[in-house]
């Protein structure tokens, strides 16, 4: 299988997992009890996967809007809209972008 196809599948499955987890309580299948940690790492991983393909500012805008939209729509599915979830999402995005930029600064862009 082509590597770019594999990356696309990984990105798509990550997005689908985030969406599914946002509308269906998947927390009972994950040993982490604090859902803010899950939000942080989900958006951290997704933004890290997107970094080679999209500029940092566009990643931030895209994922910020995606997370915010999900939070706003959640009450339609019987879930709660939580500003702290969006804060955790945003923290994961920013942390990923900063870490990747710092890595490139200290170790070169590979």
The model's pLDDT over 47-90, given as tens digits with 9 standing for 90+, comes to: 999 998 999 999 999 999 999 999 999 999 888 899 999 999 99
What's the pLDDT tens digit per position in 18-32?
998 888 876 677 777
Confidence of residue 33 (pLDDT cuts 50, 70, 90): confident
Dihedral of CA 109/62/46/84: which sign? positive
User: Scanning the structure block, which residue is given the tokens 């939580």?
Assistant: 82
Q: Which domain holds residue 21?
A: 3-107
Q: What is the pLDDT of residue 62?
A: 97
Per-residue tokens: 106 = 């200290």
Cβ atoms within 10 Å of 72's Cβ, excluding its own: 11
Phi, psi of 51 (to 5 degrees): -55, -45
User: Scanning the structure block, which residue is given the tokens 């969406």?
Assistant: 19
pTM: 0.89
| Torsion (CA) 69, 74, 80, 86 in degrees, nearest 10 | -20
Q: How many domains does the chain have?
A: 1
């Amino acid at each position: 299988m082509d590597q770019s196809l594999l990356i696309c599948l990984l990105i798509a499955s990550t997005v689908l997992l985030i969406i599914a987890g946002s509308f269906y309580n998947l927390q009972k299948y994950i040993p982490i009890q604090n859902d803010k940690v899950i939000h942080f790492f989900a958006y951290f991983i997704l933004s890290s996967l997107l970094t080679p393909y999209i500029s940092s500012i566009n990643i931030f805008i895209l994922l910020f809007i995606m997370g915010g939209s999900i939070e706003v729509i959640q009450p339609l599915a019987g879930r709660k809209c939580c500003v702290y979830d969006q804060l955790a999402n945003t923290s994961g995005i920013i942390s990923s972008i900063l870490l990747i930029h710092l890595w490139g600064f200290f170790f070169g862009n590979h």
